[in-house]
Structure 1
Amino acid sequence: MTGKRNAPSVIIGYGRAGRDLHHRALRDIAGADPAVTAVDPRPAEVPGGQWVPDVRGAVRALRASGHRVSDAVFHVTVPPDAHRDCLEQLLSVGARHFILEKPVAPTVQEAAHLVDLAEVTRAVVLPMSVWPNSRVTEAAEALVASGAIGAPVAYHMEQSKPRFRRSLQDRGHASAFEVEMPHQMLLALHLAGPVAEVTASRGWDLPLPAGRLAGLGGAEVELRHHDGTTTTLYTDLSSPVRRRRLHVHGTEGTLVADYPVSGDDDFGQVRIVGSTVHRVVQDAPLTRFVEQAYAHFRGEGPAPHGDLALHLRSMELIDAARATAFRDAGAPASREAA
């Protein structure tokens, strides 16, 4: 990748995330089909690589190619409720370098266990953190640091999209707080720093032609950071259009950053309202994260932004926001739909 010898790659779980996101990122970095071992109980076609049904098969494949297990990078893309067992199994066979798909765990308690596990074993576990490592975010941070808008006082982040069909077909999320909000919360912590409190939160139902899906229409969260700045996170899952947008309001102006909304066009834009400052940025943040992670494993650079502790704090805040939003109405457990 980029002409440098990388550690062998093992993808644990070759479903959508493993095949279409992680493996695709590895191909984009290499400019070809890299030698990847995919672990999945279901047989799979692995371009340029090989399929094995379990971790023992991956260990044998690594050794057969002259690698130690500790040499490899393991992409953990199994469902979140299997992350703990998967990491513990991989650690038991000698694995030490991991890229962990988000969410890192199904509960705050499980995430805290993973933080402790990584610390005790001294394993390097890098959770997937897309927007903190985006070139759009980097461009926005550079403009803010230059003083172009004065001192930041408030942030507003929106990730909205029409999600009717997927919400009907995929019952894996209980509310809108679990769809786009984790991405936004992580970015808020990265940009504005530690949060002192959740000051307000609300969620609403997803309307359908006949009936509704409780809690899946959208959510809004307001935060106060320790330095006094505020952040508003907003997601509308009944929006007619896709939008990934950041506003940074400063004492002397406002910055607007628009992130790529899909894989169809990998360009974002950053501008200062009322000014000629307008930058177009090519951005593939997931691929960039993976590239930075491998460089870090080689000892050639810092870890990407967004460690396990930051993911844990993000989950704690989302839990608090969800509890506040549904405190009076009750948890959105029932889902009415035609």
Structure 2
Amino acid sequence: MLQPLVVGLGRSGSGLHLKTLARLAGRTGSTGDPLVALPAIGCDPRAGVLRLSSTPGEVTVVTTLDQALDHVDPATAVVHVCTPPRSRHALIEALAGHGFRRMIVEKPLAASRDELDALIRLRDEAGLALVAMAHWTGSRLADRLRRLVRGGRLGPLRRITVDQHKPRFLRSLTTDGHQSALDVEIPHSLALVLDLAGPAELRAAHCWDLRCEDRELPRMGGAHLELEHSTRVSTLLRSDLGAPVRQRSVVCEFDGGTATGHFPLSEDDDHAQLVITPVGGDAPAAPTGAPATDGGPGPGHQVFRDDALTDFLEGAYRGFLSGAPDAGFSLACQTARLLCAAREHRATATSARTGSR
């Protein structure tokens, strides 16, 4: 078994990783194939004032890495790096210096091209097994979309539109871990479309401010990205962090029809939906239960369980144990480089507008 060390106990570390690790420990333990050794170690300098929802025995909280080493052996540990992207490289370098080799890194992988290049060098030189968080690409919904794209049931893929909308006022107003809305939801959808449609070049990037009463947060209101893939597929990514409702959907337009996927909206439910409408057909009003086939899912409205985060962490841990954990790292680097290009594009456009006044 492997013992988790979660570094950074904000929303990602405590609200997602720790809770999911508890589920994973229960899932694998109940089948007689335990994978996760609890308690996990949670490390955060603010640990004394944080309120964690974990039950007794699931997590031991410390404030420094030195304290963490009293509770975990680097040889049998998996580090979950859940700190803001701007502090990633220095932390991973420090962890490597203490002998940690297995790491799961929250998105985005790096905040700049130089940091990404430095992280890749560190990975190679220190022999690190790095897995970037990309549970959307590891989801069952994404698998059905992949088989639909590759099976050719609806003909060539032409366009993808992803919408990730949610009200994020409180977290944006009380934390400063992200430089812009590009770093919040966009990395999930960007990795997904690169996986579905192949490498891409940036065509446009735009961010806007988040406004609430007398407060205004630059670049945190939302973001749009436009891409052109080498496969001639065009993509539009949209994320509104001031939206009044939640939405996590992907629309794939083919020559022969449309596939609309809906990811689970929160931890309250773990079911995804997929609606496949051939050209000339009407979208079904209710789930039909159409089964997936080897060539891809058939037409209709499908509803299925999709606990993507638990499945992703299980795959990562099993990969660490088998010695083959690096699947997806190249995709994570492509995603990070396109995000850097989007930041640079936005900064250049902002500078041009400012200079013209």
Alignment TM class, shorter chain as reference: 0.7 to 0.9
Q: Distance in 2 between matches of 1:180 and 1:146?
A: 29
Q: CA deviation at 1:209?
A: 4.4
Match of 1:24 in 2: 19
Match of 1:281 among 304, 329, 333: 304
Q: Distance in 1 between matches of 2:240 and 2:3?
A: 40
Q: CA deviation at 1:193?
A: 1.1
Q: CA deviation at 1:272?
A: 0.6
Match of 1:306 in 2: 328
Q: Distance in 1 between matches of 2:247 and 2:303?
A: 16
Structure 1 58/246 Cα, relative in aligned 2: closer, same or farther at 3 Å? same
Corresponding position: 1:57 with 2:67: yes
Q: CA deviation at 1:212?
A: 4.6
Q: Distance in 2 between matches of 1:114 and 1:186?
A: 19
Match of 1:145 among 150, 156, 173: 150
The amino acid across from 2:340 in the alignment is D
Corresponding position: 1:14 with 2:9: yes
CA contact (8 A) 2:130 2:326 kept: no
CA contact (8 A) 2:84 2:177 kept: no
1:116-265 paired onto structure 2 within 5 Å: 116-195=121-200, 197-209=201-213, 212-265=216-269
Match of 1:85 in 2: 90
Q: Distance in 2 between matches of 1:115 and 1:289?
A: 22
The amino acid across from 2:233 in the alignment is T
Deviates more, 1:225-234 or 1:323-332: 323-332
Structure 1 residue runs without a partner (length 5+): 1-5, 63-67, 334-338
Match of 1:319 among 311, 316, 340: 340
Q: Distance in 2 between matches of 1:169 and 1:160?
A: 19
Match of 1:268 among 269, 272, 275: 272
CA contact (8 A) 1:214 1:332 kept: no
Q: Percent identity?
A: 34
Q: Distance in 2 between matches of 1:158 and 1:305?
A: 26
Q: CA deviation at 1:157?
A: 0.9
Q: Distance in 2 between matches of 1:241 and 1:332?
A: 31
CA contact (8 A) 2:248 2:265 kept: yes
Q: SS of 1:132's equivalent?
A: coil
CA contact (8 A) 1:222 1:231 kept: yes
CA contact (8 A) 1:133 1:305 kept: no
Q: Distance in 2 between matches of 1:107 and 1:207?
A: 27
CA contact (8 A) 1:135 1:285 kept: yes
Q: CA deviation at 1:217?
A: 2.8
Q: Deviations over 1:96-139 (max 9, x none)?
A: 11111222233221122111111122210111112111111112
Q: SS of 2:69's equivalent?
A: helix
Q: Distance in 1 between matches of 2:251 and 2:260?
A: 5
Q: CA deviation at 1:75?
A: 1.6
Q: SS of 2:70's equivalent?
A: helix
CA contact (8 A) 1:257 1:270 kept: yes
TM-score by length of 1: 0.84
* Superposed CA RMSD: 2.7
Structure 2 residue runs without a partner (length 5+): 30-36, 284-298
Q: Distance in 2 between matches of 1:147 and 1:103?
A: 32
TM-score by length of 2: 0.80
Q: Distance in 2 between matches of 1:23 and 1:331?
A: 44
Structure 1 80/205 Cα, relative in aligned 2: closer, same or farther at 3 Å? closer
Q: Distance in 2 between matches of 1:234 and 1:12?
A: 30
CA contact (8 A) 2:62 2:68 kept: yes
Q: SS of 2:304's equivalent?
A: strand
Match of 1:291 in 2: 314
The amino acid across from 1:324 in the alignment is H
Q: Distance in 1 between matches of 2:176 and 2:66?
A: 32
